[in-house]
Amino acid sequence: MLSDSEAKELLSFLHLDTRADVRGQATEYILGLTGTRDGCRYLQTQPGFLKALITLTADSSIAIVKDCYHALINLSADETLHETLIKEADILPMLFRNLLDPEYVFADRICTILTNLTRHERTCREVFRVMQEQDVGLAKVVEIFCIEGFNKKALLHYLGPLLSNLTQLPESRHFLLDKERCVVQRLLPFTQYEGSVTRRGGVVGTLRNCCFDYMYHEWLLSDAVDILPFLLLPLAGPEELSEEENEGLPVDLQYLPEDKTREEDPDIRKMLIETLLLLTATKVGRQIMKEKNVYPIMREFHKWEKEPQVIASCEKLVQVLIRDEPEAGMENLMEVEIPQDVEQQLKDLDTKEQEQVEKETLLLLREEAEKEVVEQPNMQNPEGLER
């Protein structure tokens, strides 16, 4: 890497009052460093360069600003640099200030950086703290996420994964689930948002995290929120159900059209099922889901699904829906204490199940590859012709 004298000279070029062409070459060099693991680790020891990149996001040259954001995205993708970026380089105030600007061209890149910085709980907590200090708050993030066209120059789809990351924190979940604020209700329509798999997946991940707090399950399933149709509709297909089965379903799921399609992304389908499974953790949740006739939807989904990991999740949900209620004292599955020997047995079973899923996935991939093999045409010269 650079010697101390070379680093000092390069840093002297990374100022707003330096000639534009020199600044441009210097930022290009830093961007190149961020493309390698060794380069990122070197910059971790040089917070001056990180601070300079943040300063130059205010440059008058669009090309320079773009290079600075690309470099910051690369750096934020490396978990070991999160603390340095947040505490030493103090990146967050600049990110939040520009994120809230409805005219800011690079807001999508800011969303990506914030999503990277919140992947792990320790730095996620720090991001959440600074959000509160900067008077941004989770309410504002949800607001600009839900207002399509808030920023005419950016899509802001990566606010979805950001919200999902933030809800790994109990305080974020409690805010979204505050019964007086009606925040979670605003997110529900995005489980079927066709414009972006990133936005859709981020919202489903957010809802799944919120469902870890079982004390809200009855409220989420009640008419006050009515979460169930928003989780089931992406999993429901065009299959014809009996009149009795249709009548037992929520109104939005009754008599679906022949052209009804399911969620195309298998990871989102899996998260939707995991969210439903979490909602069966309490007795009241299981009762409501049985009364709402969830089983026929999942039965038809199971027939349609091809991805082994999604099938495994579906089968777990179906087992809960069709089996008898647990004995007294075991109604809340999240509070049941499992003996150590039984816990180990369950872990072993999970390991075996995962191995089986991986085998089935490999077989599925091989079958798909074989289908894509096209017979090669005969490349010999046609009879009677010469090259």
Q: What is the pTM of this model?
A: 0.86
Supply the pLDDT for residue 376: 42
More confident of the two residues 110 and 360: 110
Q: Average the pLDDT over 21-49 and give the result.
A: 96
Supply the pLDDT for residue 386: 35
pLDDT, the chain, mean: 89
Supply the pLDDT for residue 327: 54
**Longest Cα–Cα distance in the chain:** 87
Please, what sign has the CA dihedral across residues 339, 342, 347, 348?
positive
- Please state which of the ranges 19-23, 223-227, 372-376 shows the lowest mean pLDDT: 372-376
- Please state which of the ranges 100-114, 309-323, 345-359 shows the lowest mean pLDDT: 345-359
Supply the pLDDT for residue 342: 46
- Please state which of the ranges 34-38, 104-108, 194-198, 376-380 shows the lowest mean pLDDT: 376-380
Q: Average the pLDDT over 330-352 and give the result.
A: 56
Distant-in-sequence contacts of 121-126, Cβ < 8 A, 24+ apart: 121/168, 121/169, 122/82, 123/82, 123/83, 123/86, 124/165, 124/166, 124/168, 124/169, 125/169, 126/86, 126/87
pLDDT level of residue 343 (50, 70, 90 thresholds): very low
Q: Dump pLDDT digits (tens) for 37-89.
A: 999 999 999 999 999 999 999 999 999 999 999 999 999 999 999 999 999 99
The residues, ordered by sequence, that sit 6+ positions from 64 with a Cβ below 8 Å of its Cβ are 20, 23, 24, 27, 56
Task: List the structure tokens of 312.
Answer: 């495994």
Tell me the three state secondary structure of residue 18. coil
- Please state which of the ranges 57-61, 217-221, 240-244, 366-370 shows the lowest mean pLDDT: 366-370
DSSP secondary structure string, 44-102?
A: HT-HHHHHHHHHGGG-S-HHHHHHHHHHHHHHHTSGGGHHIIIIIS--HHHHHHHHT-T
Supply the pLDDT for residue 323: 86
Do residues 199 and 191 make contact, with C-beta atoms less than 8 angstroms apart? no
Tokens 């809230």: give the residue.
Answer: 100
pLDDT level of residue 380 (50, 70, 90 thresholds): very low
Spatial CA neighbour of 92 closest among 104, 102, 82, 77: 82
pLDDT level of residue 328 (50, 70, 90 thresholds): low
More confident of the two residues 352 and 292: 292
Task: List the structure tokens of 381.
Answer: 């010269």
Tell me the three state secondary structure of residue 179. coil
